[in-house]
Amino acid sequence: MDRKKQVLALIGWLAASFVAAGVGARFLPGEWYAALVKPAWTPPDWVFGPVWTVLYASMAVAAWRVWRAWRRGAAHGARGALTAYLVQLALNALWSYLFFGLHRPALAFLELVALWLAIAITLVLFWRIDRLAGALLVPYLAWVTLAGSLNLALWRLNPA
């Protein structure tokens, strides 16, 4: 496979990941979130942007590595793995709408459980094809675990 095609594919995976990020970013925390009672361990607001930027870039590189293996014919199951990736990407974007857009922490938490499972499945599928691709999703799964804990705490601290 030629270098130009690989670079274009990487750009495509980055675009797909950051489109999902852009959809989620349409729903900002705002006054509603600022007024919520938060646990003491809530990360400062400024942390979220840089962390998510790195995670989305890592996710895209992971998907690109699986795509490359598939294009080389060396990746049994890559189509399913990349489908799982796109599913978790859509679930990721949906969470922001549910939590920040609709102000529904309970519903957002339930959706986040589905997101966590989708990420875990994607990680395992990627790992089977390319260990580095799977490893690139570990920080993402860890961050979503933290986000899930925070979502649950916010729901419990703010029952209305």
Q: What is the pLDDT of residues 96-148, one digit of tens each?
A: 999 999 999 999 999 999 999 999 999 999 999 999 999 999 999 999 999 99
Summary mean pLDDT of the chain: 94
Residue of 88, 29, 6, 98 whose CA lies nearest to 55: 88
- Planar angle of CA 21, 91, 79, nearest 5 degrees: 95
Average pLDDT over residues 17-37: 92
pLDDT of residue 141: 98
Average pLDDT over residues 59-73: 93
* Structural domain that includes position 46: 3-157
pLDDT digits (tens, 9 = 90+) for 71-83: 887 778 899 999 9
Residue 137 DSSP symbol: T
Residue of 134, 109, 99 whose CA lies nearest to 120: 134
Q: Is the pTM of this model over 0.85?
A: yes
pLDDT of residue 106: 97
Q: How many domains does the chain have?
A: 1
pLDDT of residue 71: 85
pLDDT of residue 1: 67
CATH of the domain at 42: 1.20.1260.100
